[in-house]
Amino acid sequence: MDSIKNFFRRQIEQKYLSDDVFEQIKDFNCRHLTKEQKLLIDKLITNEELKERYKKYGLCKECKQPNNGGWGVWWCQSCDLSNDVIRQIKDFKHLWLTEEQKLLIDKLITNEELKERYKKYGLCRECKQPNTGYQYCQSCNLSDDVIEQIKDFKHLWLTEEQKLLIDKLITNEKLKERYKRYGLCKECNTGGWGGWWCQSCNLSHDVIEQIKDFEHWNLTKEQKLLIDELISNEKLKERYKKYGLCKKCKQPNTDGRWCRSCNANRFRQNWTSRNLDVNELINESQFYAKNKNEKLEWIEYDRFEDIKYIDKGGFGTIYKAFWKDGPIEYWDYETNQWNRSKYHKSVALKSLNNSKDITLEFLNEVIF
């Protein structure tokens, strides 16, 4: 009888998890608890409602208490805005609030930390909660530690061990799904959004519609103010002001007359070096090239002429030659093909010893 009374007493008393309990369970993955961890949870969390919330939704990173729910993004009643509040403020511009909007914010958001975050950083475009930093939401982005552990994985060819690690490290289901489908953005290291498109690193359709007819090299004072208001991502803004918008995708170019994402799709492989490592090296350079100087090309031998012997080096023989076509400069929208340089056609050739057996590791050492 006493044990039953004690049980219900503990149920009533344990309204929150203590710091001691939190320290013991903070590194557990609520979705993948071991048998020993489950037993410890049952021992430490006597309040059934708290226990159920922990097992379903895990711990809030802010207040260290069990979350109240989850839609793929965990939600904490104490540390997050309600849907009603979000509905009333979602269209506000947090940096240009009117007096009426400021009064409403003070009335609706009583949590001072949340209010401060909202006023400084605005709402996350995905979960609609106040960002935790400039254009950054802790709940909707991977931590630096997680990124370091998975950055070299090939998301479409994960091993069983890598899949287990991903399930352990990424508890946000939407992030996990985006990572598995689209991989990491090469700019910000968050999960892509489709076709390797990243919401954080690209302009929205609404922004594009408002600026697409501007001359980026000759902006008026009003246009400059609008650009500063619309493009809060400093890297994107800088790219737009320097290089303008891509004629096809309407995103800021990554260099003069160069759009990384569009050009990556134009480098269709209709060639082969007859070496898989060489093919991979060239394909990867073309996919990620932000300007004309970062990409490699495969050139057939018959595209060279006037070949002259220069010297013999440690890796092979060096020649001088004339490249008939010249290197790629930019994509010509009128002819719908690559525009190649009329200059820079004199090149050095290296005939590598035992070139049939070269590896990617060897190539990286020689080239870079």
How many angstroms separate the CA atoms of 45 and 49, rounded?
9
**Whether pLDDT at 139 is above 80:** no
When pLDDT is cut at 50, 70 and 90, the band that residue 324 belongs to is very high
The β-bridge partners of 254 are: none
Residue-level length of the chain: 368
Q: Is the pTM of this model over 0.95?
A: no
- The letter for the amino acid at 118 is Y
> Which of the two residues, 82 and 193, has the higher pLDDT score?
82
When pLDDT is cut at 50, 70 and 90, the band that residue 8 belongs to is very low
Whole-number pLDDT of residue 265? 87
Whole-number pLDDT of residue 250? 93
Across all residues in the chain, what is the average pLDDT? 84
**Whether pLDDT at 124 is above 70:** yes
Segment 159-183 shows an average pLDDT of: 87
Whole-number pLDDT of residue 70? 54
Whole-number pLDDT of residue 144? 82
List the single range of 51-55, 187-191, 296-300 with lowest mean pLDDT.
187-191
When pLDDT is cut at 50, 70 and 90, the band that residue 12 belongs to is very low
Whole-number pLDDT of residue 226? 93
DSSP state of 127: T
Angle (deg, nearest 10), helices 234-243 and 221-230: 150
When pLDDT is cut at 50, 70 and 90, the band that residue 16 belongs to is confident
Six token digits for residue 261? 């994402």
Segment 28-34 shows an average pLDDT of: 84
**Whether pLDDT at 72 is above 50:** no
Segment 1-14 shows an average pLDDT of: 47
**Whether pLDDT at 168 is above 90:** no
DSSP-assigned states of every residue in 168-232: HH---HHHHHHHHHH-B-TTT-SB--STT--GGGS--HHHHHHHTTS-TTS--HHHHHHHHHH--
How many angstroms separate the CA atoms of 246 and 244, rounded?
7
Whole-number pLDDT of residue 26? 87
Whole-number pLDDT of residue 161? 93
Q: Please report, for the chain, how many H helices and E strands are present, in that order.
A: 16, 7
Q: Cβ(117)–Cβ(152) under 8 Å?
A: no
Quick count: other Cβ atoms within 10 Å of Cβ 58?
A: 19
Highest mean pLDDT among 109-113, 124-128, 145-149, 318-322: 318-322
Whole-number pLDDT of residue 334? 94
**Whether pLDDT at 7 is above 50:** no
Domains of the chain: 2-75 (no CATH), 83-138 (no CATH), 141-199 (no CATH), 202-253 (no CATH), 276-367 (3.30.200)
**Whether pLDDT at 299 is above 90:** yes
**Whether pLDDT at 100 is above 90:** yes
Whole-number pLDDT of residue 242? 96
CA atoms within 13 Å, Cβ hemisphere of 296: 15
> Which of the two residues, 137 and 282, has the higher pLDDT score?
282
List of residues 6+ apart from 186 with CB closer than 8 A? 288
Six token digits for residue 82? 């309600």
Whole-number pLDDT of residue 365? 56
Q: Cβ(328)–Cβ(289) under 8 Å?
A: no
pLDDT digits (tens, 9 = 90+) for 265-289: 899 778 888 888 888 888 888 988 9
